[in-house]
Amino acid sequence: MKSFLLAIALYGALSCALPLTQEADQVAEADLDFAKKYIENYYPDSASTPVIRSKGSDDIPADKIRLMQERFGLKVTGRLDSNTLALMRKPRCGVPDVAEYSTFPGDPAWKKTKLTYSILNYTPDMDRADVDVAIERAWKVWSDVTPLTFTRVYGKPADIEISFAARSHGDYIPFDGPGGQLAHAFSPAYGGNAHFDEDESWVRDLTGVNLFLVAAHEFGHSLGLRHSGIWGALMFPTYQATDPQNFRLHRDDIEGIQSLYGPPEGGENGDGDDSSSGNPEPATEAPSTDLCDPRLAFDAVCSLRGETMFFKNNFFWRKNPQRRDVEKVPISAFWPSLSKGIDAAYEVKADDTVFLFKGHKYWATKGNIIQRGFPKNIHSLGLPKSVKSIDAAAHDHNSKKTYFFSGNSYWRYDEAQKSMEKGYPRKISADFHQVGSKVDAAFLNHGHFYLFVGSEQYEFDSGTKRFIGIKKSNSWFGCQ
């Protein structure tokens, strides 16, 4: 297993920005070298990342540039343009934006709710009392919305240790002086310790680097959170110098931490700050972390390169047939723009492509790379305008046909002809009458059709539609 060492890196603003019309082949050599290192650090090579070179960008893969642009809401060109370079120099966290998601084994959370912390030393930049208050406030950000409690201990081992250090400090990831990495923290599996760069100017306001804001972000990592793809969220990769006195935890952060630990005792979910979306949404119920909970239901199920993915809210469980354990992974760790969850998914193995659906849009992905030209409207598939979203989808690898379920009807799509087949839609109850009139998720596997309704799955022969039996949705995990 690999540890996730998480560091916030702060870079100065460009003093001489490139003109907006400058193309990739006109990028200065120094900027090109900087961009190469940025891509190497935050978009490392993996088996799932195709290496397609960008014109004028030497050996920088265009797909990686496109992924970075898509993640940060830039115009997706695959070229190293000036807007992309400017964003590369913005304050950000040192953890890679893409990684082999197997590095997050199992449930990335503490197994207890009462945690202790210790402050090993202090920065001379602030009064000790102000440091204590900033650290305590940073922990309170998370205890206010979870059942977690954080108690400071003195002179004895703590669950999480907090320290200030400069340059090399014993963890093989040295800090780099003023204006570089601000801090880094380890995941729960590796102790959750948080280190802050002593060469920074730590302050209680915004005249330097605000300790409370950085600590709150780092403690999110210490508790198991990865980065958010939502602008304005505390866990967004870039450092955001917002007013610490009027700080409100973003709804995305609340949903993320509650998906690991649940809401605080009493069931309050916290209202959060959802100002970046414009339309506040109600907090969604956190998915059960117990795969054998008999009430567990899935939003979508699909295969991915020999594995099976079970989606629930903003997470998915990853089942490998050659491994006994099941991994729980934030969707944002693989597809940042879909961090809020999906409605349906299916894989076309012949094309090594997974299609993901949310509302009236859908995305085509290869591994964790969203393909150029997506998202598209679901009506481009030939669905009628009356269909507002897809409830479930499943692909038959033998016939090359895909089934789409919406409401009480289903359609069959010919992947080769790229068109809906005649004779559809049909009523779900007409061909799968044991199911009823609505399906939550669907999956085709080895000639068997699995339709998920709530916490139950109905199994059919995919050719004859013959009903085989009914099981709990989580029977895939050996649950009785």
Q: Indicate which residues carry an active-site annotation.
A: 218
- Does 130 count as an annotated binding residue? no
- Does 433 count as an annotated binding residue? no
Measured between alpha carbons, how far apart are the two ends of the chain, in Å?
A: 30
Contact 477, 326 (CB under 8 A): yes
- Does 93 count as an annotated binding residue? yes
- Does 290 count as an annotated binding residue? no
- Does 191 count as an annotated binding residue? yes
Number of Cβ within a 10 Å radius of residue 281 = 12
Residue 420: phi and psi, rounded to 5, are -75, 145
- Does 273 count as an annotated binding residue? no
Q: For residue 160, which of 172, 149, 170 has the smallest C-alpha distance?
A: 149
Helix (H) or strand (E) holding 456: strand 456-461
- Does 360 count as an annotated binding residue? no
- Does 446 count as an annotated binding residue? no
* Helix spans in 124-198 (H): 128-143
- Does 197 count as an annotated binding residue? yes
Maximum Cα–Cα distance across the chain:
75
- Does 200 count as an annotated binding residue? yes
- Does 184 count as an annotated binding residue? yes
* Helix spans in 46-125 (H): 62-71, 82-88
How far lies 172's CA from each of 45, 67, 121, 163, 334, in Å?
21, 29, 20, 15, 27
Contacts of residue 324, defined as CB under 8 A and 6 or more positions apart, other chains included, come to none
Number of Cβ within a 10 Å radius of residue 31 = 18
- Does 397 count as an annotated binding residue? no
The bridge status of strand 409-414 relative to strand 467-472 is: unpaired
Return the amino acid letter for 100: E
- Does 379 count as an annotated binding residue? no
User: Which residue ranges are tagged as binding site for Ca(2+)?
Assistant: 125, 159, 176-177, 191, 197, 200, 299, 343, 345, 393, 440
User: Which residue ranges are tagged as binding site for Zn(2+)?
Assistant: 93, 169, 171, 184, 195, 217, 221, 227, 235
User: Which residue ranges are tagged as binding site?
Assistant: 93, 125, 159, 169, 171, 176-177, 184, 191, 195, 197, 200, 217, 221, 227, 235, 299, 343, 345, 393, 440
